[in-house]
Amino acid sequence: MIASAYAAPMHGAPSPASRRRHAGRDRGRGRPVRVTVATVAALAALVSGCSISFDDPSTATTAPPTERNEAPSSTVRPADPATSGFPADWSPAPLDWAPCEFDPTLDCSELEVPRDWSEPDGPTLTLALARRPATGRSEGTLLTNPGGPGGSGVDFIAGGPLSDETDQRFDTVSWDPRGVGASTAVECDAGVQDFERLDSQPDTPQEQADLDAAAATVSSDCGREAGDLLPFVGTANVARDLEAIRLALGGEPLNYVGFSYGTQIGQEYAALFPTHIRSMVLDGVVDPNLSFTEFLTAQAQAFEQSFNGNANACADAGVAACGVADLAGTYDRVIARAETQPLRTPTGALGPSEIAVAATYSAYVPQGWRELGPALASADVGDGGKLADLAASYYDFGGYPSYAAVVCIDTPPPSGAAAYREFARRAAEAAPRFGAAVANEMLPCATWAAPAVADPVPVIPSTVPPILVVGNTGDPATPYSNALAVANRTPNAVLLTVETDGHTAYGSSTCVDRIVDAYLVDLELPPPNTTCR
């Protein structure tokens, strides 16, 4: 399988061992988010002609901010049930914080919420929360989500992912969304490893039949083991859970930083509860307007483009720096050889799917060729260990069932194996190296045990306060085109352009950190068309 829809930020996350210790799993994945077909380069050129640039990060605070915005009243009026789907008379039980067992410097708690928000008196599920107390005098609470779907916010908080400034000023809180980790989870892993080991780019009828059968097994296992939960894990319900957490924390206006898929949660929340927000940062932006097939096809194209860029950079750097003279040729040779003879690794064999995962994962970080080149050099002489390590970094993010449970119902997928096979064929035409693998990672959606939710695409009204949208021009997981599209259609949004590669920016750029922190702490926004370099 290969990266297809969502991912957590690559900075500040806890180690794989930490994630496994909390979530109780040793497999998972971090995934890039939806992309558009428009090229990042063209959009960057469009904006750069009128941008304010910060080449030196220390100059980020010298540009005059926009006029300070007034925060919403400290008393937020109840949401309208007709537009939010949130019951007017629902109130949370008080949170009972206690030191976390896995890290006593953090506080942990749980919150009971309705499984189905349209039936608030029906069955409930449990959300696991963690809080990192402010290192200074707390000025409020900041909520954050690392992405996924399937990313554990509890483990994310344990990694100290935000800046020193926000750590000092805010109590930082995150949670395992419904279906994830220590919350009431979608647990149906039995057939996942068998599915992931199969060739995700089948080139014989038997390989396709095996892949179809394994995907259907994953779907049926999840229907059997988690069928009561599957219809209720979509993003709209996660956004309502975020409102429940805000209320449980005392009802103050929301401060929120969402990364990657966490930006979709943020957009959904802003559409449902626009007047309940004080500040919101969306970094590594999902565009919910894209359909299931659109975002996966465009995703494959974006990773193909990133791979080609890495191949060119490798050639320019030379063998001594990159490990191989021809990164693309070596990749093609290694993956073709693995079709008939999987690579050896310290823990077993490595097949074509894992090699594609490794190549895609390297695009998450700037100069990913520095990781991928040496790994391919070793693989070219039969040692797949370094490629296996890259693939493991991808798989270690979060559980596949909790990831698929959201992706398969948030937007309608092709229904049935035949329709899905045609989609994968078209994706392969659009992106020859990665298209089929990107599409087929989500093949269980073709026979998923819960129907796609008919929630409309979130429309954020003009009553929302300013939202800061952050986009990297070289982010192949959530390309800049997404950030531009979301910023253009979101009332009062301000776009911060970051001229860098890699996935998400806050926490990895001093320039970005200073701008984001000024907004979160003092509600000071950068001028329009600001660029960090």
At 469-526, the pLDDT tens digits run: 999 988 888 888 999 999 999 999 999 999 988 889 998 899 999 999 999 999 999 9
Asked whether residue 216 carries a pLDDT value surpassing 60, the answer given is yes
Comparing 4-13, 184-193, 271-280, the range with the smallest average pLDDT is 4-13
Residue 37 confidence class, pLDDT cut points 50, 70, 90:
very low
CA atoms within 13 A on the CB side of 427: 32
What distance in Å separates the CA atoms of residue 229 and residue 368, rounded to the nearest whole number? 38
| 83-109: average pLDDT | 95
| Cβ-based neighbours of 426, under 8 Å, separated by 6 or more | 293, 297, 435
Residue 397 confidence class, pLDDT cut points 50, 70, 90:
low
The β-bridge partners of 498 are 472, 532
SS3 state of residue 102: coil
pTM: 0.87
Give the tens place of pLDDT for each residue, 39-86. 233 333 333 333 445 444 434 433 433 343 444 445 677 788 888 999
Residue 302 confidence class, pLDDT cut points 50, 70, 90:
confident
Q: Cα angle vertex 287, ends 463, 212, to 5°?
A: 140
Domains of the chain from N-terminus onward: 43-186+231-289+457-532 (3.40.50.1820)
Give the tens place of pLDDT for each residue, 154-178. 999 999 889 999 999 999 999 999 9
What distance in Å separates the CA atoms of residue 85 and residue 291, rounded to the nearest whole number? 23
| 255-266: average pLDDT | 97
Tokens of 485: 């599209």
Comparing 72-81, 136-145, 258-267, 408-417, the range with the smallest average pLDDT is 72-81
Cβ-in-10-Å burial (0-12, 13-18, 19+) of 366 comes to middle
